[in-house]
């Protein structure tokens, strides 16, 4: 696969070249290029290498006072010189991830209307119903392969940010490129504006979205349908990734399209896959089998049911009946253990209800169900208290303890607590990062179940194969491929995810494994290459200047 690169020949004047982010090289234009493209005199005379420009950017960033300023600086750079922007990000993706995405992007979304500078991606308001295809065709790139789209209703943990949610698809797509090399020219961030129920935004004279409450029901569904049809008509090879929709819409949208088009929801499926990757990593430490595990979830919302379902499907792939697999993934929410006699369960929770007497204490549930792992997705801090960790340690040689609630302040326990209360026996990973912990002279490095181990790789696999679908099994393949890359040295320190400093290599490995699955299942729209890893590497975007 060869990825077309923009050419300097298409611009007419030097001024145009300098103001086209796809063509601009800034001070890196050679003397010959400056003469040939009438750039002479428009730049200071010294010609710089890309490496020197990266070093200058690093220095400029270090001189700024806070991360929002760094976010804005990088955003301006993306508008000025796309190659340099990605060269900077790809020089150290782990360092730049928190600047272009979480946590900084959260503040950028909240302040969107007050810091708006330049257009990026597209905005489709519900007031334009009936004209979405016409509006989408205003996008200059005619071959779009990847869309990340939000309606801004559940932005990170910040709730309804209306049109300000635009920062999320923009930031997320930057990570598809920075962490797995998905070529940016094929990527399109989109914000669907269906109104906002955030009164503060509606009262703000600077608010940039539609001044109306959120549209719900049939009108909303028809708008989403029209959007999907317009994308299919204009960009038939495009994968749509739904991002930060509220549960009430996220689950039905995924159900409606997952078997019809190439699409996935990272909040649901990426989260489940990264948790499963952590479990596969944990099993490498304990030496146990997935089929022998029993998990007890604290929380029964979308994260819990999504993770529980993917674990159940992975167990079923090993030969277990799906009902028996689900019975090994018990949910415990604010009203206690989910059992069949409860009348308050939603449809998506019912498959996990146990035929068991009610239990209202989490410690009691541990003693009765004897789980090998507990997974916290309750949003409530400190619920994995000393009694909980001690109960898990009493029945397991190496208890799996995953407090996944974000941010750090909501984590069900800290790494220090888990390791201390279990006397170093816990196999630990969390949703938010924790620093290394020392117990009795041994250093433990806690892993972070960050979706970034999954989604860029999934994007690259889909891009390189032109897959027609994104299936649940692809996420199981991805989870295994993440866990494969944890070294013995990592495992010895308790680390069950690859270090984030290796995210690019890790993503290409995962992409290769998922691509092999796509080819084997006949989902690819390109012929199967002899060497799939080489095929993936050929498709990778490299931040080099156009000739």
By CB under 6 A, is residue 304 in contact with ligand NAD?
yes
Q: How far is the CB of 117 from ligand NAD (least distance, A)?
A: 29
Give yes or no for a contact between 39 and 14, defined as CB atoms under 8 angstroms apart: yes
* Whole-number Å distance between alpha carbons of 452 and 363: 32
Active site residue 25: no
Binding to ligand NAD by CB under 6 A, coded x per residue (else -) over 314-333, reads: -------------------x
Choices 39-47, 322-330, 371-379, 465-473; region in contact with ligand NAD by CB under 6 A: 371-379
Is residue 320 within 8 Å of 404, Cβ to Cβ?
no
Residue from the set 410, 509, 513, 535 that interacts with ligand NAD by CB under 6 A? 410
Q: Does 171 bind ligand NAD (CB under 6 A)?
A: no
Q: What angle, 0 to 180 degrees and rounded to 10, lies between the N-to-C axes of helices 167-180 and 455-465? A: 70
Q: Rounded to the nearest whole angstrom, what is the least distance from the CB of residue 458 to ligand NAD in the complex?
A: 14
Do the bridges between strand 400-403 and strand 427-430 make them parallel or antiparallel, or are there none, so unpaired?
Answer: parallel
Smallest gap from Cβ 153 to ligand NAD, in A, equals: 13
Which is nearest to 75 in space by CA: 166, 155, 141? Answer: 166
Distant-in-sequence, close-in-space partners of 255: CB < 8 Å, separation ≥ 6: none
Residue with CB nearest ligand NAD?
301
Could you tell me if 423 and 473 are in contact, meaning their C-beta atoms sit under 8 angstroms apart?
no
CB atoms within 10 A of CB 79: 16
User: Which of these, 186, 137, 167, 184, lies nearest to 21 by C-alpha position?
Assistant: 184
Q: Is the dihedral of CA 370, 485, 169, 263 positive or negative?
A: negative
Q: Which is nearer to ligand NAD, 189 or 299 (CB)?
A: 299
Pick the closer one to ligand NAD by CB: 338 or 540. 338
**Which residue's CB is nearer to ligand NAD, number 408 or number 468?**
408
Q: Specify whether 86 is catalytic.
A: no
Q: Which residues are registered as beta bridge partners of 403?
A: 376
| Token pair of 79 as six digits | 């508008």
Binding string, residues 334-363; x marks residues near ligand NAD by CB under 6 A:
x-----------------------------
For ligand NAD, the closer CB: 286 or 408: 408
Alpha-carbon span 330 to 322, nearest angstrom? 14
Spell out, one character per residue from 208 to 247, where the chain touches ligand NAD: x when CB under 6 A holds, - when not. Answer: ---------------------------------------x
Piece of 292-300, 457-465, 492-500, 509-517 that binds ligand NAD (CB under 6 A): 292-300
Out of 75, 78, 150, 271, name the contact with ligand NAD by CB under 6 A. Answer: 271
- Residues whose CB falls within 8 Å of the CB of residue 370, separated by 6 or more in sequence, listed in order: 294, 395
Answer yes or no: are the C-beta atoms of 526 and 466 closer than 8 Å: yes
| Active-site residue, from 86, 101, 404, 517 | 101
Closest CA to 510 of 468, 466, 471, 462: 462
Residue 42 Cβ vs ligand NAD, minimum distance, rounded to whole Å:
46
Q: Where on the chain is the footprint of ligand NAD (CB under 6 A)?
A: 157, 247, 271, 274, 298-304, 333-334, 377-380, 383, 404-406, 410, 431, 449, 451
Catalytic residues: 101, 172
């Amino acid at each position: 696969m060869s990825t077309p690169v923009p050419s300097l020949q298409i611009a007419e004047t030097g001024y145009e070249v300098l103001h086209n982010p796809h063509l601009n090289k800034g001070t890196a234009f050679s003397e010959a290029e400056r003469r040939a493209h009438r750039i002479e005199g428009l730049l200071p005379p010294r010609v710089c290498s890309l490496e020197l420009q990266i070093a200058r950017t690093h220095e400029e960033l270090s001189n700024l006072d806070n991360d929002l300023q760094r976010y804005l600086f990088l955003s301006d750079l993306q508008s000025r010189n796309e190659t340099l922007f990605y060269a900077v990000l790809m020089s150290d993706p782990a360092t730049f991830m928190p600047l272009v995405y979480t946590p900084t992007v959260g503040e950028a979304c909240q302040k969107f209307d007050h810091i708006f500078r330049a257009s990026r991606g597209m905005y489709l308001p519900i007031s334009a119903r009936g004209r979405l295809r016409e509006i989408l065709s205003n996008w200059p790139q005619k071959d779009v392969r990847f869309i990340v789209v939000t309606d801004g209703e559940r932005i990170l943990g910040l709730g309804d940010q209306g049109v300000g949610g635009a920062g999320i698809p923009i930031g997320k797509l930057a990570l598809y490129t920075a962490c797995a090399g998905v070529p940016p020219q094929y990527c399109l961030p989109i914000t669907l504006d269906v109104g906002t129920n955030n009164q503060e935004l509606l009262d703000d004279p600077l608010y940039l979205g539609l001044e109306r409450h959120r549209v719900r029901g049939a009108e909303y569904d028809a708008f989403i349908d029209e959007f999907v049809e317009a994308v299919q008509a204009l960009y038939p090879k495009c994968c749509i990734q739904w991002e930060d929709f509220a549960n009430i819409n996220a689950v039905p949208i995924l159900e409606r399209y997952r078997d019809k088009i190439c699409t996935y929801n990272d909040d649901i499926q990426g989260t489940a896959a990264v948790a499963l990757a952590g479990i596969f990593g944990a099993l490498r430490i304990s030496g146990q089998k997935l089929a022998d595990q029993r998990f007890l979830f604290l929380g029964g919302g979308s994260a819990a049911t999504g993770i529980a379902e993917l674990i159940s499907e992975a167990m079923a792939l090993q030969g277990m009946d799906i009902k028996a697999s689900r019975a090994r993934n018990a949910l415990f929410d604010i009203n206690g253990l989910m059992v069949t006699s409860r009348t308050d369960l939603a449809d998506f929770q019912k498959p996990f209800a146990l035929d068991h007497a009610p239990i209202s204490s989490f410690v009691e549930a541990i003693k009765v169900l004897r789980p090998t792992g507990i997974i916290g997705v309750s949003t409530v801090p400190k619920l994995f208290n000393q009694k909980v960790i001690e109960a898990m340690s009493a029945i397991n040689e190496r208890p799996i303890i995953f407090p996944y609630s974000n941010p750090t302040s909501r984590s069900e326990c800290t790494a220090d607590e888990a390791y201390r209360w279990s006397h170093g026996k816990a196999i630990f990973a969390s949703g938010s990062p924790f620093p290394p912990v020392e117990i009795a002279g041994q250093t433990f490095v806690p892993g972070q179940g960050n979706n970034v181990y999954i989604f860029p790789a999934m994007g690259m696999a889909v891009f390189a194969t032109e897959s027609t679908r994104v299936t649940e099994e692809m996420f199981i393949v991805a989870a295994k491929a993440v866990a494969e890359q944890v070294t013995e040295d990592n495992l010895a320190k308790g680390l069950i995810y690859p270090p984030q400093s290796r995210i690019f290599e890790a993503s290409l490995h995962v992409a290769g494994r998922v691509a092999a699955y796509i080819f084997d299942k006949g989902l690819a729209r390109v012929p199967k290459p002899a060497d799939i890893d080489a095929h993936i590497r050929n498709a990778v975007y490299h931040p080099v200047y156009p000739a």
